[in-house]
Structures are given as structure tokens and as C-alpha cells.
Structure 1
Amino acid sequence: MQKVMFLGAAPMQMPPIEYASEKGYEIITVDYKPDNPGHRLADRWYDCSTTDLDGVLEIAREEAIDGIVAYASDPAAPTAAYVGNAMGLPSNPYESVCTLAEKDKFRAFLHENGFNVPEAQSFTNISAAAEFAKSIRGNVFTKPVDSSGSKGVTRVTNQEQFKDAFEYAAGFSRSGRVIVESELVRDGYQVAGDGFVRDGRLAFRCWANEHFDYQCNGLVPIGESFPSILPDRLLNYAHAETQRLLELLDMRSGALNFDFIFTQDEELYFLEIGPRNGGNLIPQVIRYGTGVDLIAATVEAALGNDYELPANAPFKGYWASYIIHALTDGSYGQLNVSERMQSRIVEQDLWKQPGDPVKLFRGSNDTVGTMILRFQSAEEMCALMDDMNTDIFVECL
């Protein structure tokens, strides 16, 4: 029986753990939250931070694992590579994974290799950061370089906001590093989605339209709708540039999560290429729409097993993931869903009970629940996803 270690056992990280359980693999879970649901399916679980490189490696060696998975977690992805490299398990180069997982390293890599990149620098000193921000024309973003789930991100429109924005980002950064970068103006939807690398080649990718709720934040995705409505010529160009990036980093195998935009001049900007599966139920929606199971592929690739990954899997129908969220701080009362939206719900999972505290949605840690939806057309899909508060509303007490 093969033994697989999962870094993280949170609700969003359940799918590969459930898959491994169904396959009969021995399951080891690692994180510092004993109440996380993935631990209940584990043969053994360990109280250790998923970013503790040597701590996780020690556990992995004691357990003699056959594979390691960091699902939907940028902070844990370098740990999986570190352990995999040290133990000779299927993995990508540790330094390459760090380049993708840390925003300042990624921006520097893009600049050095001729990709489009915004003006950007990382700082630990707020005074130096503020001076750099002043040198940029227009708005800037402040972001922790090593967090995930869009936590700690602020769009800064005036200097009076900068101190609070910098400190807010630093609070989500393990290293205390904050990246300050110029705002980019996109044309059309930001593109999200997942892909899979096999033998150094982007063997599969499925891209979506990213949606935001400007009533509460406007910076954190509240869902992804599939398929992307951008023209094929732009998406094919993004595919070619992704392949160039993979070759430069010697990425050999595993899942990728994308966020990129095109400007009005059709210039491509990679915002993130995460060396892991996407959150927000992206792999599950892809499975509904294409039949391709990236969750299974992730686990089997980590174990060095064969897995099915068709070369061509056109998207069938119009699907979306949706992150249920609150527009204010308070206590959870109930979820109100319109009649027309009820008929479009394929899956629903609520994480809160009446009376539980909820917060204004500012990051994935503020999630109230999730949905998978199916629509009748691309037009309907985009129109409803862009105005979801009309049909789905969290009532707070």
C-alpha cells in the first residue's frame, strides 16, 4: 500500500484526501489545526506547520512516504518540493517552486526573462516602501509575498492609506516582506483556472473568467466561471508563454493554478502561476465540465503512478464555482437564495451554523461556504456571476 502525505487538511483541501481514501492509500496529514476535517480520514496526523521544511521532512522520513501533496496552498508548495527533492520523490526543483510561490521572486523572474511585469519591489521597511509607491504613477497594490487566498491585499489610491495597507499585508507574511506594485488595467475578465504539467509540457489547461464582488472588496475572487470567453488566439498565446516559463524553470510535473490578464493592447501579464491546484473548487468544476480529474492526477503523479490525462477535453456546458461570503461583520443568520438561482445549484456546502461569527469578505479565510453552479449560456453565466448579491445573500445578525 502506498503512503501519501498531505500538507494541510482544511475544508478546501479535502478532495485529494478523499480520493486517496477511496483508493485505499495510507494517508498522513500535516498541519497545526486539530479540528481540520482532513485529519478524520488520515491514518495518522501530525501537529506541524506546513511551512516547517525540516520538521515536515523529519516526519516524512519517519513515515517513509511514497509521495507528498500540497493541494491549494502556495505556502505549502515549497515544503512539498523540499521534501520531494530530499527524498527522491516525484517533485519539481525547490528553487523553481519558491520562485512561483513568492511574489517578489516571481516578479523578478518575469522581468529577467522578458515577460511583461508591473513595476514592483518588495520591502520590510515601510518608509522605503512608501517612497517607492510615491515614484509610481497611479494606484498601487500592497501584498504579502508569501501568503495565499488573496489575504492581505489592498488597492492603495492615496498616500494616507499606505501605512495601514503595508501593515495589513505584513501581518499575513511569514517573512514580513511586502510587495508594492503598480496597478494594471485589464481588458475583459481576469483569467483563472488550472493546468497540469507532464514531462515538462503543459499537457492540460482549462481557463475561466474570474469574478469579484465590488460591494465588499473587489480584490478577492468570489468565483470562476467556465469556459473563458476570451478569444482562442489570446489563450493560445498564454499557453505558449506558459510553456516557455515552464522550460526556464525546469518544471516537470504536477498541477498549476493561473491568474493572468490581457491589457487593451493585448499584452499578457502573469499575475500568479501557483505550483499547486487551485482553490475555490476549480478542479471540481473542471471535472464536471471536461471529465478530466486533476485531483486524481495530482495524487497519482505525486506517487509516481500512471494517470489519465487526455490531450483534448473540450469544455461542455457553462459552469462556475461560487464562494459564499458576507458583506458585513456579524453573526451568521441564514443564506437567502433566489428561486432562479436554486435551480442552478449543483453542489452546496455551508461552513457556518446560525450564530457563528462571520466577517466582511477580505480573503479566503472569511469564506462562509461554497457552491458549484450550472448555467444555460455564457451570457447568462457572466451576467449572473457579475451580480450574485441579487440572488445569493448571507443574512447577518
Structure 2
Amino acid sequence: MKKLLMLGGAQSQISAIKKARDMGCYIIICDTLEEAPGKKYAHEYYNICTTDKEAVLHVAKSLQIDGIVSYAADSGVLTAAYVAEKLGLPSHPYKSVETITNKELFRKFQQAHDFHIPKAKAYSSVDQAKADFHRFTLPVMIKPVDSSGSKGISKIDSIYLLEEKAGIALRFSKTKRFIIEEYIENYGPHIGGDGFSVNGKLVFRSFSNEYFSVNCANPFVSITATWPSIMPERIQNSVHEEIQRLLGLLEMKTGAYNFDIRVDQQENVYLIEMAARNGGDWNPDLIQCVTGVDLIEYTIKAALGENCSSLMMARPQGYWASYVLHSERKGIFKEIKIAEELKNNVVTSYLTVNLGERVSPSLDGHVYLGLMVLRFSSICEMKEKTKRLHEHIQAFVEDINIRC
């Protein structure tokens, strides 16, 4: 029985843990949460932070693991690459994973290799940024160089907001650095979705249409993703080529990727971010619904060094969406109400909170009430109904002072 070390046991990681068990693996989980939902599906559990590379390496070495996975979580991606490289296990190069994980390193790499990028520069102090601010065309994005889940991100159109928003970004940065980059206006929807490379070749990708909610506390958290992509085939092919060029330059190997991409009016492709992991929010589950391809299984195979050469592109079937259930205010959670006209579209859903539990607005991609999967009969129905999901799916929250 092969030993697989999985970094994290959150609700969003259970599908991968269960899949690995079904594939006959012996599952070891590292997570600092004693009540991690995925723990009950594991054979062993260690209370270790997934970002602690040396602690995870010590456990991995002592247990003589056969593979390591950080599924749908940025926090453990670098650790997984580090441990795998140290132990000679299958993985992408650690330096390459570090490059695409850190926004400052990624922009420098892209610039050196003539990718389309927004004008960008990283700083460790607000005073340095103020001195350069006149060089940027507004609006600009302020981001921590090393955070995930849209934590600490802001969009500003005035120098008077710089100090406040840079301060927020710095609070979410482990290295205490933030990056300013010019905002890229989209042609069509923001491109998300997942892909997979075998020996460095992008053999599979499933692009989604991502939409953000202006009603959320953080408007840069993706709330809705729909499949298949509505972008013209020529643009999808251009995006594919740019991803492949990046993979080649970074000498990536076999594994999954999550995309965060924009295309401007001139059809220039901007690889805003690309993570060396499967996407969250049920991305691989939705992609299996859309294409029949089980990316979770291939991710586990890749981590164990098994043959992934059977993976290839698959045409999308049907019209699908994932929707992040969220609250727009703080309070006591009562229920999720779904409009009658949408009920027949709901395939499945789950909640991460209980009735009567305190909830907060979604400030990042890790704070939400649950997820919902929907299916539509046509692309027209998909477009029309997903535009109004925030009206048709409502979280009812009671004020805390009323309950008290």
C-alpha cells in the first residue's frame, strides 16, 4: 500500500482524500485543526502546519512516504514541492513552484521572458511606493506578494488610498512586501479553470468563466464560475500557447494547475496568476461533470509517479456553474433560500456552517457558507440565470444583538 501525505484536511480537500483511499493509498494528513473534517478519512494524522517545510519533511522522511499532495490549497504547495525534491519524489522543481507562488518573482520572470504583464513593482514600505506612484496609470491593484484567496487585495484610483490599502496588504504578507500593478480591463469574462501537464506538456485544460460579486466585502473573491468557456476558440488557443510557453521555461513536470487569466481588448493574454495545484470551489468536480475527466485521480497518480499518459483533451458536455454561498453581513446564520425558478437547476450543495452559527462577510476565498453546483439546458439559460444568482440564492442572517 503506497503512503500518500496530504497537506490539509479541510472540507474542500475531502474529495481528494476519499479518492486516494479508493485508489488503495494509505493516507497521512497534516493539519493544525484537530477537528479537520478530512481527518476521519485518514489512516494517520499529524498536528503540523502545512507551511512548516522542515516539520513536514521530518514526518515524510520518518514515514517513508511515496508521494505528497497539497490539494486545492496554496498554503502547502511550496511545502509539497520542497519535501518531494528533498526526498526524490515526483514533483515540479521547487524553484519553479516558488516563482509562480510569489507575485513579485512571477512578474520578474514574466518580464524577463516577454510575457504580457501589467506594469508592476513590489515594495516593502509605503513611502517607497508613494515616491513611485506617479509612474502608474490608474486604477492599480495593491496585493501582498505572497498571499492567496484574494486576501489583502485592493483596487485604488487615488494616492490618498495608498497608505491604507498597502497597510492591509502588508498585514497579509509573511515577507512584508506588497506589489502595485496596473489594472487590466477584461475582454470577455475573467478566465479561470484548471489544467494538467504530463512531462511538461499541457495535455488538458478546462477554462471557466469567472465572475466576481460587487456585493461582497471583498469584490475580488470569485463567486461564480461557469463552464464551458464562452471565449472564442482562437483566444482559448492563444491562452493555451502562453501557458505552455510558461511551463516549458519553468521546466514543469507532471501535475495540476489552477488558472487566473485576463485577456485585453487587443487579445493580449495576461497570466495574472497560475498555481501548481488543483483549483478550489469544487473546480475538479465540476470539470469532471463537464468533461468526464477525473483530475483528482491524475493528481494522485502524478504524486505517486504513476503513468498519466492517458490524459487528453475532452470536449465539454452541458452547461454548468459553481456558486459560492456567502453572507453579505455579520450575524447568526438562519438559512439559504433559493428562488423557485432556480430550484430545478440545483444539482447539489453543501454548507460549511451550522444553523445558529455566527458568520461574517466573505473577505477572502476561504470564508464562505458553502458551495452549490448548478446545471442548465443551454448556454443562454446559463448566462441569463448566473447573472442573477445573487438575487435567486440568498443567505438569511439574523442580527447578533437580536439573538442576544
TM-score bucket (shorter structure): over 0.9
CA distance in 1, matches of 2:352, 2:240: 36
3-state SS of paired residue (2:248):
helix
CA distance in 1, matches of 2:310, 2:258: 17
Q: Aligned-pair distance for 1:8? A: 1.1
User: In structure 2, what is the equivalent of residue 112 of structure 1?
Assistant: 112
3-state SS of paired residue (1:187):
coil
Distance 1:128 1:72, change over 3 A: same
Letter in 1 for 2:76: A
User: In structure 1, what is the equivalent of residue 376 of structure 2?
Assistant: 375
Do 1:211 and 1:385's aligned partners in 2 also have CA atoms closer than 8 Å? no
Q: Per-residue CA shift, 1:199-218, capped at 9, x if unaligned?
A: 11001000010011112243
User: In structure 1, what is the equivalent of residue 45 of structure 2?
Assistant: 45
User: In structure 2, what is the equivalent of residue 187 of structure 1?
Assistant: 187
User: In structure 2, what is the equivalent of residue 246 of structure 1?
Assistant: 247
User: In structure 2, what is the equivalent of residue 16 of structure 1?
Assistant: 16
User: In structure 1, what is the equivalent of residue 142 of structure 2?
Assistant: 142
Q: Aligned-pair distance for 1:198? A: 0.3
Q: Per-residue CA shift, 1:335-387, capped at 9, x if unaligned?
A: 11111221111110011112212112221222110011101111221222222
- Does residue 356 (structure 1) correspond to residue 373 (structure 2)? The answer is no
**Which 5+ residue runs of structure 1 have no aligned equivalent?**
none
Residues 121-200 of structure 1 mapped to structure 2, 5 A cutoff: 121-200=121-200
Q: Aligned-pair distance for 1:118? A: 0.7
Letter in 2 for 1:144: P
CA RMSD between the two structures: 1.3
Letter in 1 for 2:288: R
Do 1:100 and 1:272's aligned partners in 2 also have CA atoms closer than 8 Å? yes
User: In structure 2, what is the equivalent of residue 290 of structure 1?
Assistant: 291
- Does residue 318 (structure 1) correspond to residue 319 (structure 2)? The answer is yes
Q: Aligned-pair distance for 1:56? A: 0.9
User: In structure 1, what is the equivalent of residue 335 of structure 2?
Assistant: 334
Q: Aligned-pair distance for 1:307? A: 4.3
Do 1:212 and 1:386's aligned partners in 2 also have CA atoms closer than 8 Å? no
Letter in 1 for 2:341: R
Distance 1:133 1:72, change over 3 A: farther
User: In structure 1, what is the equivalent of residue 272 of structure 2?
Assistant: 271
**Which 5+ residue runs of structure 2 have no aligned equivalent?**
399-404
Q: Which shifted more, 42-51 or 86-95?
A: 42-51
3-state SS of paired residue (1:265):
coil
Do 1:190 and 1:210's aligned partners in 2 also have CA atoms closer than 8 Å? yes
CA distance in 2, matches of 1:228, 1:135: 35
CA distance in 2, matches of 1:142, 1:88: 38
Q: Aligned-pair distance for 1:239? A: 0.7
3-state SS of paired residue (2:75):
coil
CA distance in 2, matches of 1:381, 1:145: 35
Q: Aligned-pair distance for 1:308? A: 6.9
CA distance in 1, matches of 2:119, 2:33: 37
CA distance in 1, matches of 2:65, 2:211: 38
Q: Aligned pair count?
A: 397
User: In structure 1, what is the equivalent of residue 402 of structure 2?
Assistant: none
User: In structure 2, what is the equivalent of residue 32 of structure 1?
Assistant: 32
Q: Aligned-pair distance for 1:310? A: 3.7
3-state SS of paired residue (1:32):
coil
CA distance in 1, matches of 2:251, 2:309: 23
User: In structure 1, what is the equivalent of residue 88 of structure 2?
Assistant: 88
Residues 44-83 of structure 1 mapped to structure 2, 5 A cutoff: 44-83=44-83
Do 2:96 and 2:250's aligned partners in 1 also have CA atoms closer than 8 Å? yes
Do 1:204 and 1:309's aligned partners in 2 also have CA atoms closer than 8 Å? no
3-state SS of paired residue (1:184):
coil
3-state SS of paired residue (1:241):
helix
CA distance in 2, matches of 1:136, 1:317: 43
Distance 1:143 1:11, change over 3 A: same
Letter in 2 for 1:213: S
Do 2:258 and 2:275's aligned partners in 1 also have CA atoms closer than 8 Å? yes
Do 1:145 and 1:179's aligned partners in 2 also have CA atoms closer than 8 Å? yes
CA distance in 1, matches of 2:31, 2:177: 23
Q: Per-residue CA shift, 1:253-286, capped at 9, x if unaligned?
A: 1001111111111111111111110011110000
Letter in 1 for 2:105: K
CA distance in 2, matches of 1:290, 1:148: 27
CA distance in 2, matches of 1:199, 1:206: 19
CA distance in 2, matches of 1:14, 1:169: 30
Q: Aligned-pair distance for 1:146? A: 1.6
Letter in 2 for 1:9: G
Q: Aligned-pair distance for 1:134? A: 3.7
Do 1:318 and 1:374's aligned partners in 2 also have CA atoms closer than 8 Å? yes
3-state SS of paired residue (1:336):
strand
Q: Percent identity?
A: 38
